[in-house]
Amino acid sequence: MELYCLGIESTADDFAVGITTFNGKILANIISAYVPMEGGIHPRKAARHHARVASRVIEESLKNAGIKPRNLSIIAFSQGPGLGPCLRTGATVARTLASYLGIPLVGVNHCVAHIEIGKLKTDVEDPVTLYVSGGNTIVSAFDSGRYRVFGETLDIALGNCLDVFAREAGLHQSVGEPFGAVVERYAAKGKRLIPLPYTVKGMDMSFSGLLTAAISLLKRGEHKLEDLCYSLQETVFSMVTEVTERALAHTEKEEVLLTGGVAANKRLQSMIRSMAEEHDAEFCVMPKEFAVDNGAMIAWTGVLAYKYGVVTPIEESVVKLKWRLEEVEVLWVK
Amino acid sequence: MGEMKQSVLMKKGAEASLYLADWHDRKVIMKKRLPKKYRLPELDKQVKTYRTIHEPKLIHEAKKAGVPTPTIFLVDVESATIIMEYIEGKQVKKLLSKTSRSERQHICLEIGELIGKLHRYGIIHGDLTTSNMILNSEGKIFFVDFGLGEKSKELEARGVDLHLMKRALQSTHFRFAEECFSTVIEGYSKMLSSENVKNILGKIKEIEKRGRYIAEREGD
């Protein structure tokens, strides 16, 4: 008999549900994005969106997977890190489902899930992972039982830096186009590099000063918007590539995995690929469907953990807003 | 840059290569920052230039703080190369586990004092490992490689700096790590106020709880 896990992801603006088998077959992966009328993500408004769409997304996932709720063996949910109201909404849905069906609940770390789905969907086995999104910027690799953080942002995430700049600049989005993609489109037409602060401190990066500098240049109106986008991209991508390179040289791993929403950017891909080639390392980029926040990654990581005896009793299922990647014991990797 | 004879590659890092060379009848270390293909040439130049200027500055300032460092002979921004004094001596990494207990304590006390002097002056080394410390024949300890250094008096920066030192001791000199680190702190405490030291030790505990940096130094 096939065993199934349903995973719920709700760390930020997406409410997503995925269903996988215990053998890693992905049967459903549905994402419902909360799109604000203006500005960034308002946590409570996003949470309201999640609550509204939850039952529809779950029903649709079960339909896609061709199974009934009673066929599920476990429920996995992203327990952190993320925005409080969003996380709590997903957790509430997960607890309800698990107790109603009388099956185990497994709390999953969102960052671990990004790495695990990468290992499932690409050829990598033991990579240095660069995870870049609107909420996270983390360079990690497995060592002694955990995914260790080798470098990260000291302030805002790289994707957030691009988003805020795009909003400040009033860049025009076509329907459904993420801000990062708009910046990429403008940057492709830029030619002139405008100096911006390049802040790598040891293994860590800082983007907030750079963002402020870029916005003040924008407001002065002396530069072409295309050149500013180009300079912004070149600078922030060079920074993350440098930190990823340091981690690769230090760990002597042979693979690099690029994931997260920003992984879709072609310029970032080409930089990481070029760096990996210089170190004779294999480069893998996640397909977009599984690079962005998704439910399949939560379901699959829930399966891996559950097989090693991890269950999260309801009374311990409180969400962890600042749950760090390296706090998780990764029992399933040897 | 003048005449350069017999340069031998000593270490190839992610960012720079170190060569041992003969330069005007002197044994020198040549540190060359390599171009990165992934970066735009003009950005690559900007970054390498900044660092090629910044590192010798920190090395020089460390001297003012009372910490022995190599003398800088030449900085060539164009080729992103720094030529500096070759410190004749032994890496502390290679002798710390082999020497007598009293000698070990003497060295660790000295290291602690030197870190304290750096921090008091507002310098963060950024890569405190025993392989970046050299003991010369006169018993003087030199700090080298300020490539990841910065100017800061912040608690977090100081805490991370000392934490890296602790990790380096644990991975390379694990049998004596605890004893060594507490002696380092003893030396360090001579340079900063007890209030300061208390806060920094608290910070180190907090950093350890965060769980990062744990395996970074293994194999170093």
Pairwise CB contact (< 8 Å): A326 & B15: no
E strands, chain A, are: 4-9, 14-21, 26-33, 72-80, 105-109, 128-132, 137-143, 146-152, 200-201, 204-205, 255-259, 282-285
Structural domains in chain A, CATH included, are 4-114+293-327 (3.30.420.40), 123-285 (3.30.420.40)
Pairwise CB contact (< 8 Å): A201 & B150: yes
First to last CA, chain A: 28
Contact yes or no for B168/B155 (Cβ under 8 A): no
pLDDT tier at A201, thresholds 50, 70, 90? confident
Closest approach of chain B CAs to the CA of A32, in angstroms?
33
Q: How many whole angstroms separate alpha carbon B166 and alpha carbon B160?
A: 10
Pairwise CB contact (< 8 Å): B211 & A235: no
CA dist list (Å): B88 to B20, B26, B138: 12, 12, 10
Please list the pLDDT of chain B residue by residue as tens digits (220 residues).
666 666 899 887 778 899 999 999 999 999 999 999 999 999 999 999 999 999 999 999 999 999 999 999 999 999 999 999 999 999 999 999 899 999 999 999 999 999 999 999 999 998 898 989 999 999 999 999 998 899 999 998 999 899 889 888 887 788 889 999 999 999 999 999 999 999 999 999 887 766 444 333 333 3
Per-residue pLDDT, averaged over A229-252, amounts to 94
Whether this model's ipTM surpasses 0.90 comes out as no
Contact yes or no for B184/B108 (Cβ under 8 A): yes
Q: What is the pLDDT of residues A96-133, one digit of tens each?
A: 999 999 999 999 999 999 999 999 999 999 999 999 99
Burial of A329 (0-12, 13-18, 19+ CB in 10 A): exposed
Residue B217: the pLDDT is: 33
Pairwise CB contact (< 8 Å): B14 & A249: yes
Q: Which residues, in sequence order, are bridge partners of residue B143? A: B133
- Could you give the dihedral angle defined by the CA atoms of residues A119, A122, A128 and A133, in that order, rounded to the nearest 10 degrees? -90
B76 is catalytic: no
Percent of chain A surpassing pLDDT 90: 86
**Residues 6+ away with beta carbon under 8 Å from A25:** none
Side by side, the strands of the sheet bearing A255-259 are A146-152, A137-143, A128-132, A255-259, A282-285
Residue B168: the pLDDT is: 83
The CA-based angle A146-A152-A158, given to 5 degrees, is 130
Residues of B in contact with A249 (CB under 8 A): 13-14
Quick check: A279 pLDDT over 50?
yes
Q: What is the mean pLDDT of chain A?
A: 95
Which one of B43, B211, B215 has the shortest CB-CB distance to A324?
Answer: B211
Per-residue pLDDT, averaged over A23-34, amounts to 96
Structural domains in chain B, CATH included, are 4-85 (3.30.200.20), 90-210 (1.10.510.10)
**Pick the catalytic residue: B22, B25, B44, B127?**
B127
Region of A66 please: left (phi>0), alpha (psi -120 to 50) or beta.
left
Partner A contacted by B209 (CB < 8 A)? no
Backbone angles phi, psi at B162, to 5 degrees: -70, -35
**Residues 6+ away with beta carbon under 8 Å from B202:** none
Pairwise CB contact (< 8 Å): B36 & A195: no
Residues of B in contact with A193 (CB under 8 A): 40, 42-43
* Chains A & B: contacts with CB separation below 8 Å: 71
Percent of chain B surpassing pLDDT 90: 72
Residues of B in contact with A144 (CB under 8 A): 214-215, 218
Whether the CA torsion B148, B151, B155, B156 is positive or negative: it is negative
Residues of A in contact with B215 (CB under 8 A): 143-144, 148
